[in-house]
Amino acid sequence: MTAVARRAFRASAAIVLLAAVWETLPRLGAVNPVFLPPLTEVLTAWYDLLRTGQLLDHTQASLLRSLTGFALAIATAIPLGLLIGWYRPLAGFLNPVLELFRNTAALALLPVFVLILGLGETSKVAIILYACSWPILLNTIAGVRNVDPLLVKSARSMGLNAARLFQKVILPAAVPTVFTGIRLAGAYSILVLIAAEMVGAKAGLGYLINYAQLNFRVTDMYAAIITISVLGLLFNLSLVRLERRFSTWRTT
Amino acid sequence: MKIQFRDVGKEFPVRDSDHTFPALSGVTLDVREGEFLTLVGPSGCGKSTLLDLLSGLTEPTSGEILIDGAPVEGPGLDRGIVFQQYALLPWRTALANVEFGLEAKGVPRTERRELARHYLDLVGLRDFEARYPHELSGGMRQRVAIARSLAFDPDILLMDEPFAALDAQTRESLQEELLRIWEATGKTVVFITHGIDEAVYLGQRVAVMSAGPGRIRTVLDVSFDSREGDLRADPRFGEYRHEIWTLLREEAIPVG
């Protein structure tokens, strides 16, 4: 075996094993194939969904919500976090509230969002925006506040004013921590999306999962679940890539 | 006189109390133009506080500090500081780190690059300009930090135990190099250390500090007939060393 093949094997061994178990257990009758059909049947159903274009429609609807909420969260939480982190008294004042909200599960507020914003797209994007904002906000605040004080001292000794200090030292130093928050938010955006789509949606992968289950189209349900986990995986992978590009220096 | 401390005192508030802690008291010290002065003292004697005051990052509680006859008002690029922990920006290459002070000074981009290269060359890191700090050894990082402080051409170089974190061999070679750079550039250097050998080896004069509160105890003139060969083996070196050691030791004995 070549080195590449060996690495590929090692990386996928567990997945292949899982697939094999999924395929054989229902066939052997160890689990009820009605509730857990063999993997090949699920994949056939997935292909059918893809062919008829249904899968694409639902995925598009989901991604649109997810990415809108995620992008809005980045656009609002980063500036807000920089502001709060920079003004220490403000951070001290807001900290108890931040702790409270941080420890409240976002989905607990879903009914509130629905109540206020209705069942449409607004409430779905809003709950994703809300859930994604926290990791970004908290990490940005931490990033700004935990900048090595010696770097600040050194820059101040060279006579840098507050604005230049922020631009040349605080901001670049905070980038890796902010990115950790963005990566977490990426995972949240998919997580919360599915739950939001199970309530009063007419499209989307969460809707598809729920709808298939209600109509006892079990293979379709699993097909949608697989789609969402692959989607989440790819999203996370691209964010990790991006993160690495922006923080090559943080390897001390 | 380049730098004058006139009866300088510094007190810090003690947390949760109305008392203050005197870090420095009645410090009077003159540093001559172009001089290499080392400041040696036990830990906690206020060496670094003295340097913070001189750099303008904090203000004295009493007395005054003059540079070229004018009182220190805040930080400025007429003084360059070299810290023990280098204080390099980890996201910048060696070259970009050296450029940092030049950006603060407002030097145009092309000139900046040229100057930074020149000073990296001066500290022997010409081939390492594209490296990030984490890719450099401790000694190399400190060279970059020294190049950065030299690049914006301050009159005064303030060094806060810059070689304390380095191994003995690297330290000695950097000490030698620092003397060479000092001779080449003619800067006034105030060098803080807790190492007696280092103070004697580098300083034209050694200011010995005592603690509780920090004061200048004595200022010793150090001169050798020749600095050729192994200076540390010179009998005069041993005498200076012993004299300072005795002063610091008396200090360490509790007064009661």
For the stretch B4-23, pLDDT in tens is 999 999 999 888 888 888 89
State the pLDDT at residue B249.
Answer: 85
Same domain, A241 and A120: yes
Same domain, A109 and A11: no
Same domain, A106 and A200: yes
State the pLDDT at residue B159.
Answer: 96
Ranges of residues in chain A whose predicted pLDDT is under 70: 1, 250-252
Q: Which residues pair with B67 in a beta bridge?
A: B3, B70
| Structure tokens that stand for B80 in this block | 């360059």
Same domain, B95 and B136: yes
Confidence of residue B43 (pLDDT cuts 50, 70, 90): confident
- Establish if A41 belongs to a structural domain: yes
- Establish if B84 belongs to a structural domain: no
Same domain, B159 and B244: yes
CB contact under 8 A, A157 and B56: yes
Instruction: State the Cα–Cα distance between residues B161 and A135, nearest whole angstrom.
Output: 40
Q: Which of A159, A172, A249 sits opposite B104 (nearest CB)?
A: A159
CB contact under 8 A, A249 and B134: yes
Same domain, A119 and A163: yes
Same domain, A125 and A221: yes
Instruction: State the Cα–Cα distance between residues A76 and B126, nearest whole angstrom.
Output: 44
Domain count, chain A: 2
Tell me: the pLDDT tens digits for B65-119?
A: 999 999 999 999 999 999 999 999 999 999 999 999 999 889 999 999 999 999 9
B55-66: average pLDDT: 94
Angle at A129 between CA A123 and CA A134, to 5 degrees: 135
- Establish if A167 belongs to a structural domain: yes
Domain count, chain B: 2
B100: chain A residues, CB-CB within 8 Å: 155, 158, 168
Domain C-terminal end among B153, B186, B202: B153
| Chain A residue with minimum CA distance to B101 | A158
State the pLDDT at residue B107.
Answer: 93
Same domain, B164 and B177: yes
State the pLDDT at residue B221.
Answer: 94
Is residue B254 pLDDT above 70, yes or no?
no
Tell me, yes or no, if B134 comes closer than 8 A to chain A by beta carbon.
yes
State the pLDDT at residue A245.
Answer: 83
CATH number reported for the structural domain that contains residue A226 in this entry: 1.10.3720.10
Give the DSSP H/E element, type plus range, for residue A252. none
- Establish if B121 belongs to a structural domain: yes
Tell me, yes or no, if B57 comes closer than 8 A to chain A by beta carbon.
yes
Q: Residue B19 burial by CB count (10 A; 0-12/13-18/19+): exposed, middle or buried?
A: exposed
Calculate the average pLDDT of chain B: 92
State the pLDDT at residue B16.
Answer: 84
State the pLDDT at residue B253.
Answer: 59
Same domain, B100 and B72: no
Same domain, A27 and A83: no
Q: How far is A172 from chain B (nearest CA, A)?
A: 7
Pick B256 or A194 by higher pLDDT. Answer: A194
Q: Which of A151, A154, A164 sits opposite B81 (nearest CB)?
A: A154
Same domain, A241 and A195: yes
Same domain, A41 and A159: yes
| Chain B residue with minimum CA distance to A176 | B91
Instruction: State the Cα–Cα distance between residues A126 and A70, nearest whole angstrom.
Output: 10
Same domain, A42 and A30: no
- Establish if A224 belongs to a structural domain: yes
- Establish if B199 belongs to a structural domain: yes
Enclosing domain of residue B104:
91-153
- Establish if B115 belongs to a structural domain: yes
Enclosing domain of residue A75:
37-246
Instruction: State the Cα–Cα distance between residues B231 and B233, nearest whole angstrom.
Output: 5
CB contact under 8 A, A159 and B74: yes
B25 phi and psi angles, rounded to 5 deg: -145, 130
| Structure tokens that stand for A185 in this block | 């938010």
Is residue B256 pLDDT above 50, yes or no?
no
CATH number reported for the structural domain that contains residue B247 in this entry: 3.40.50.300
Instruction: State the Cα–Cα distance between residues A216 and A85, nearest whole angstrom.
Output: 51
State the pLDDT at residue B61.
Answer: 94
Q: A116 Cβ partners below 8 Å, 6+ apart?
A: A123
| Chain A residue with minimum CA distance to B152 | A158
Same domain, B16 and B131: no
What ipTM does this complex have? 0.90
CB contact under 8 A, A158 and B83: no
B218-223: average pLDDT: 92
Confidence of residue B228 (pLDDT cuts 50, 70, 90): confident
Strands B215-221 and B205-210: antiparallel
Residue A176's nearest CA partner among B136, B101, B90 is B90
- Tell me the residues of chain A between 1 and 20 that have a Cβ less than 8 Å away from chain B: none
Strands B156-160 and B3-13: unpaired
| Chain B residue with minimum CA distance to A168 | B100
Task: Give me the sheet containing B70-71, strands edge to edge.
Answer: B20-31, B3-13, B62-67, B70-71
Report which residue type is found at A193: L
Taking phi over 0 as left and psi of -120 to 50 as alpha, with beta for the rest, A88 belongs to alpha
CB contact under 8 A, A157 and B91: no
Pick B42 or B67 by higher pLDDT. Answer: B67
